Amino acid sequence: MTNITQHFADLDEVTLHYLMAGSGFPVVLLHGIPQTSHEWRYVMPHLAQHYRVIAPDLRGLGDSSRPAAGYDKKTVSNDVWRLLKKLGIDAFHLVGHDWGGPTAFSLAAQHRDAVKKLAILDVAIPGDGADFSQNGRRWHHALFRTPDLPEALFQDREHLIINWFFENYGYRPNCISEEDRREYLRTYVKPGAMRAMYSFYRALPQDAEDNQVMLQKDGKLQMPVLALGGARGFGRGMETLESLQRVAEDVRGGLIPDAGHWVTEEQPEFIANELLNFFAEN
């Protein structure tokens, strides 16, 4: 049985909580919203048989601390970079799901020699020209970016929006168990957690601008990229692959069968096998 351990790293203005398992070449897993590093619990044991796996809670989320600012993905990814430097890691494979995907892209774009392989799961990259509206299915983007309103709407009602996401954006309404929903809710009801969540969305225009500047300056990513989208999602599907093809040169990927958006929990063995095969490529 894989031993997954919990740790904390103090990094100036932020403290990151992270999970770690296995040994060998490092693999870094970045979670999405409204999730935490807990979303990797089924994937980590597979990867840890071959790699040293690190899964942090991103700034403001999970059991990491919640600074008032710094939710643009250049800053969020720099937290991860500083964590890895503290762990003595200077080369690694990188995986990101949902908002962990743009964070991973930013990290890879800033540290191209360090990121040996990059995998992005069910998300498009801000600034690549993708349509984030999806015919109203991403209505929450505009709501969360509206100043003050989501704070007022969901104060003491955090479970309403989090449960709605889990029930509507997966392939099956019950794809996230009640026990796991409680674990996610445990952290999102902490003071400042929902504000931090909204801040990830509110930084989207800055993320798009930052990515465009990096791409114009240094060109497309050159490391191998794996791009996978849920086959039963709400329109993303091949969008992840198409998005990464606009910002990287060496891209492969496709669809995750019988999965909506919560791909690491709906199809963990498929994800793990795809990652292991990808990492093993020459």
> Is the distance from CB of 26 to CB of 93 less than 8 angstroms?
yes
State how far the Cα of 32 lies from the Cα of 240, in Å rounded to an integer: 15
188 in active site: no
Q: Which of 79, 93, 201, 207 is catalytic?
A: 201
17 in active site: no
93 in active site: no
Q: Which residues contact 22 (CB under 8 A, 6 or more apart)?
A: 2, 44, 47, 48, 49, 50, 51, 52, 53
Find tokens 């991403």 and name the residue: 138
* DSSP 3-state of 118: strand
Structure tokens, 135: 């015919």
- Nearest in space to 71 (alpha carbons), one of 171, 214, 198: 198
Q: Which of 57, 79, 98, 210 is catalytic?
A: 98
- Provide the 10 A C-beta neighbour count for residue 280: 8
* DSSP 3-state of 248: strand
- Nearest in space to 187 (alpha carbons), one of 98, 64, 69: 64
- Provide the 10 A C-beta neighbour count for residue 30: 28
State how far the Cα of 49 lies from the Cα of 45, in Å rounded to an integer: 7
Catalytic residues: 98, 201, 261
